[in-house]
Amino acid sequence: MGNAAKISAEVEAWDESTYEELADGRKLTRATVRQALTGDLDGHCVTEYLMFYGPDSTANFIGQKNVVGTLAGRSGAFVVQVRGRFTDGEARSDLTIVPGSATGQLAGLSGEGTAVAPGGHTEAIDLDYALDQGSGRG
């Protein structure tokens, strides 16, 4: 992709509810998570997660993250697809910028990355991205 961004995502709000109780302590939940973003991307995001919790307190999750902020001096918004797993007190996920989702000066943004949240409220994100040279400041 060519560009690398290191981002810190601090949880501001986490609203999770169970929508299905399953056998043996398993359950399905939905969560809305608001985060402040700092580092190479300054802004905020709201993520909608769907999660499956196993009886051993591990979880698999998917989500859509709506990001609004400034990256490489360009302002705009974009959507990130999230797929991950929580185990041993740590959440790890793979991230993909949804093609065609970027707006404003970030139009044409593409990329992928990883996120690690080792307990607590802070997630470390590494994003490898490309910006369409036709977008941005004119």
Torsion angles phi and psi, residue 137, rounded to 5? -75, 140
Torsion angles phi and psi, residue 22, rounded to 5? -115, 175
Q: Where is 84: in which H helix or E strand?
A: strand 74-87
For residue 137, what pLDDT band results from cuts at 50, 70 and 90? very low
All structural domains of the chain with their residue ranges = 3-130
pTM: 0.92
Thinking of the domain 3-130, which architecture would CATH place it in?
Answer: Beta Barrel (2.40)
Residues 6+ apart with CB under 8 A from 76: 68, 102, 103, 104, 105, 106, 107, 109
- Rounded to whole angstroms, the Cα distance separating 113 from 117 reads 14
* CA 33 to each of CA 44, 69, 135: distance values in angstroms, whole numbers, following the listed order: 11, 16, 30
Tens of pLDDT, residue by residue over 2-27, are 899 999 999 999 999 999 999 999 99
Tens of pLDDT, residue by residue over 39-54, are 999 999 999 999 999 9
